[in-house]
């Protein structure tokens, strides 16, 4: 069986901010129309009050209307009191808002839990095509190269990415990265750990600059400064209204799926980690009563969450932290876990942790990239990518691998011979797929 995904990629403007403005416009338009209709009715009543009012107002008001002449304002005051409450403009305005956002959603289209965590983001969306974009590891700790360099760049992210890379990131409908660090100014480094990462919570604004819509915090650095660093990270992301997956205040919270409702299409995002792969990891897994990451080394909750998400949505993305660092070879655990994830109901599997690119494959009919590699992580030079997935009517239309390179604390999309070099490399390690010159992938089951 061949699963062929190709075609022209349709890039859609981000609608997160536009939705708010569109909602205000619709609300204003409804109010203006209702006001106009109300005034027309008032004037109609004034002109033909003996005939018009009799059928619209309560019986006890009829003699009053028939015996006295009223100004327009007086008539409106009486009429307003006789029209059922559900028909006045104030209630109609509330009904329009409720229709737009749905029960429990705020004015921005977010459904949050009692801790302020975004569970569903709803956007008005007109196109049949939805663009999903994925990148690998990002590090904003200012004691390491990326964070320190960024603070000295007057143009910020615009001095750190090529123009075409930023365009892809900022114009994707949903852009997801791995947040490979904590947001905190507290705690102490985990004893015995070679690398521990933390960024000032103010650095969270960089995510918006990049166009990020959701982050994974299911990785082996989410606990680098102890439990407090995880708690501060989640609090920082909640305050920034940045959806996240992969960790939580307890097991139920850590395994939480985040949904994006774009028009009629509902997309589920799940993240989990099997790193570190021993019984008592430094990065603690969440329990029924304690904070931690969503682990999937020996634990099986991941498959239950995927099955639940499949029943609740049109498309399920699983973003997984796995593999062995610094090699393009799959380790013993990745093939088995990818098969179980696919069989549980995932529609797309995105991997990270190895810090280098790993193969693209089809597993039980599900597209997989085993590692996206570093995206904006250090000063070293390495090949990386953006993975661009287009959905049509909630189903996968195309999967495109966009070659990129990280170097000198910057990341750029590649073109020409450099692009072809990386594509050739990906073909050489991805034996079960074909990749054309534009990076579009054909999956062979």
**pLDDT tens digits, 242-279:** 999 999 999 999 999 999 999 999 999 999 999 999 88
Judge if the upstream peptide bond of residue 276 is cis by omega within 30 degrees of 0.
yes
pLDDT band at 38 (very low <50, low <70, confident <90, very high): low
Average pLDDT on 349-372 reads 98
* CB atoms near residue 74 (< 10 Å): 12
Given a contact cutoff of 8 angstroms between Cβ atoms, the answer to whether 350 and 316 are in contact is no
pLDDT band at 176 (very low <50, low <70, confident <90, very high): very high
Domain boundaries, the chain: 18-101, 110-444
pLDDT tops 60 at residue 429: yes
Of residues 110, 139, 343, 124, the one with CA closest to residue 238: 110
Cβ neighbours of residue 394 closer than 8 Å, sequence gap 6 or more: 264, 265, 266, 314, 315
Give the Cα-Cα-Cα angle 162, 164, 165 (nearest 5 degrees): 65
Task: Check residue 51 and give its pLDDT.
Answer: 41
Its pTM stands at: 0.79
- Homologous superfamily (CATH) of 110-444 is Metallo-dependent phosphatases (3.60.21.10)
Task: Check residue 30 and give its pLDDT.
Answer: 54
Of residues 385, 406, 394, 402, the one with CA closest to residue 440: 402
Q: Which residue has the tokens 């008592």?
A: 280
Given a contact cutoff of 8 angstroms between Cβ atoms, the answer to whether 410 and 378 are in contact is no
User: Quick one: which H or E segment has residue 344?
Assistant: helix 334-344
pLDDT band at 431 (very low <50, low <70, confident <90, very high): confident
**Count, residues in the chain:** 445
Judge if the upstream peptide bond of residue 162 is cis by omega within 30 degrees of 0.
no
Q: Which residue has the tokens 């797309």?
A: 348
* CB atoms near residue 127 (< 10 Å): 15
pLDDT in tens, 96-113: 344 444 579 999 999 999
Neighbour-count burial of 374, counting CB atoms closer than 10 A to its CB (0-12 exposed, 13-18 middle, 19+ buried): buried
| Mean pLDDT taken over the chain | 85
């Amino acid at each position: 069986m061949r699963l062929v995904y190709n075609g022209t990629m349709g890039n859609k403007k981000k609608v997160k901010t536009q939705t708010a403005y569109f909602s205000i416009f619709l609300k204003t338009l409804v109010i203006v129309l209702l006001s106009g209709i109300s005034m027309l009715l008032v004037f109609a009543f004034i002109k033909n009050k003996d005939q018009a009012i009799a059928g619209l107002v309560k019986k006890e008001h009829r003699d009053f209307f028939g015996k006295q002449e009223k100004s327009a304002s007086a008539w409106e005051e009486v009429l307003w009191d006789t029209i059922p409450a559900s028909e006045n403009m104030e209630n109609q305005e509330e009904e329009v808002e409720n229709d737009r956002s749905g029960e429990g959603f705020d004015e921005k289209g977010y459904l949050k839990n009692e801790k302020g965590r975004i569970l569903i983001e709803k956007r008005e969306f007109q196109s049949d095509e939805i663009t999903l974009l994925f990148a690998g590891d990002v590090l904003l700790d200012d004691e390491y190269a990326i964070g320190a360099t960024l603070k000295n760049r007057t143009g910020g992210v615009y001095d750190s990415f090529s123009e075409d890379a930023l365009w892809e990131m900022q114009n994707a409908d949903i852009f997801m990265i791995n947040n490979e660090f904590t947001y905190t100014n507290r705690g102490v480094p985990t004893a015995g750990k070679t690398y521990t990462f933390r960024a000032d919570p103010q650095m969270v604004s960089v995510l918006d600059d990049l166009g990020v819509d959701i982050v994974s915090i299911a990785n082996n650095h989410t606990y680098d400064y102890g439990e407090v660093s995880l708690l501060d990270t989640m609090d920082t992301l909640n305050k920034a209204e940045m959806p996240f997956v992969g960790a939580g205040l307890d097991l139920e919270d850590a395994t939480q799926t985040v949904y994006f409702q774009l028009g009629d299409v509902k997309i589920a995002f799940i993240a989990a980690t099997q790193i570190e792969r021993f019984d008592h990891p430094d990065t603690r897994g969440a329990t029924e009563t304690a904070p931690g990451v969503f682990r999937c080394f020996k634990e099986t909750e991941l498959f239950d969450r995927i099955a639940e998400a499949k029943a609740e949505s049109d498309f399920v993305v699983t973003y997984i932290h796995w593999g062995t660092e610094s090699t393009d070879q799959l380790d013993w655990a990745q093939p088995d876990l990818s098969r179980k994830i696919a069989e549980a109901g995932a529609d797309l599997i995105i991997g990270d942790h190895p810090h280098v690119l790993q193969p693209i494959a089809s597993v039980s009919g599900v597209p997989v990239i085993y590692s996206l590699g570093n995206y904006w992580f250090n000063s070293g030079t390495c090949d990386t990518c953006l993975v661009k997935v287009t959905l049509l009517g909630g189903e996968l239309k195309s999967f495109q691998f966009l070659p990129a390179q990280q170097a000198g604390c910057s990341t750029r999309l590649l073109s020409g011979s450099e692009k072809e070099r990386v594509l050739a490399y990906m073909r050489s390690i991805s034996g079960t797929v074909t990749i054309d010159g534009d990076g579009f992938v054909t999956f062979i089951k």
